[in-house]
Every structure is written in C-alpha cells, then in structure tokens.
Amino acid sequence: MNDFSPVIEYVSRYVDLSDDEIAHFKSFLKITKVRKRQFIVQPGFVCMHKSYVVKGALRGYLIDKEGKEHTLAFAIEDWWISDYSSLISQEPATLFVEALEDSVLIQIEYEHQQQFMTEIPKLEKFERIITQRSLAFHQKRLLSNLTKTAEERYDDFMDKYSAIAKRVPQYTLASYLGFTTEYLSKIRNRKGLKS
C-alpha cells in the first residue's frame, strides 16, 4: 500500500501544494501497520516520528509513580499523534503511544520533517498552522480541567467526540477526563447510558 492521499488531502486543507511539491513530500512519508495493543512510542526511547491515522484508534498516556495511567490524547482517522515533547527535543519519551485498534498510519520521521520544511516552504507554514491549532486545543483542555466539573467535561467530550467515546475502552476515557471508571459509570447511569 502506497496510498498517501489521506494525508495529502489533510495538508491541502491548509496549504496549496503543486504536483512537484506533493511528489517530493510523498518521498518523506511511510505507511506503517500496527496491531491492537502495539506501542509506537515508549518512555525512555526517543520518539522518531509523528503519525497520521489513516485507519484505527490510538492513545497517548503516561504512568505516574503510583502506577496510575493518565490518558493525554486520543487519535482516530484524520488525526495526528506522537510524544511531541520527545519528538521536538529529541530527548527520551515520557509517553506511551498505543494502538487501541488495529491501525494504519502514515508516519513522518523527525529528520524528514526538518528536511521538508526547508525544501518545501509551504510545508513549514502547514506545520506552523497545525502546531498553533494544537496549542490552542491543549490550552482549552487545560482550562476546562481547571474550571469545569467532571460532569461538564464529560458532556463537552460527548458533544464533540462521541465517535471516540464509542471506540475506546471506558477506563481510557475516564482517565482522559480525569476521573475513575466508577465515576464515569455513575455519570453514564445518571444520563441513562450503558457503561
């Protein structure tokens, strides 16, 4: 499989690439298939790529000193995922990035990303745009965690990302929202939903 069209379509939402630029960009991409429960990033190892999800679902999480998991990110089709701190700094990762389903990814290695941003200036603009959007999203999430109740956070997530909630294990959703699986079950029961 060498179909890079999903990621080309994604990039084209933000910048207009010529046919030559698209062909050059494709030379930096690789397709990777991962099985459910397979890790693509693990703590202690430098993250070497970011991944665009063509098919499947993944999550990024860390484990604290008490052994508790904290889900920081989900990614389904048409989303990106990585340990961005490790990728950008080229220092060992702190996150696990795990496939929640059998998945197909288009990956870009760190060195290739640096190269194409130099060789194709429009892609540097693309990277800036999606980085700014990601920063804004994470700020909104942080503010939500600081100012909203657990039930409000749940309602917001279900309003915006119900497709994810249907696909991921409930303990990962609870972890992402900052509460226990038991509390998630109580909220869902109050709303008449199945756990």
Domain boundaries, the chain: 5-120
Tokens representing 20 are 């030559």
- Is 100's pLDDT higher than 80? yes
Fold classification of 5-120 is Jelly Rolls (2.60.120)
Mean pLDDT along residues 111-116: 95
Tokens representing 56 are 């499947």
Would you state the pLDDT for residue 175?
95
- Is 70's pLDDT higher than 90? yes
Mean pLDDT along residues 136-149: 93
pLDDT band (50, 70, 90) for residue 46: very high
Q: How far apart are CA 29 and CA 27, in angstroms?
A: 6
Model confidence, pTM: 0.92
DSSP category for residue 43: T
Mean pLDDT along residues 154-167: 94
Mean pLDDT along residues 52-60: 98
pLDDT band (50, 70, 90) for residue 190: confident
Would you state the pLDDT for residue 76?
97
Would you state the pLDDT for residue 174?
94
Please provide the distance, in angstroms rounded to a whole number, between the alpha carbons at the two ends of the chain. Answer: 37
SS3 25: helix
CB 59 within 8 A of CB 80: no
Mean pLDDT along residues 30-46: 97
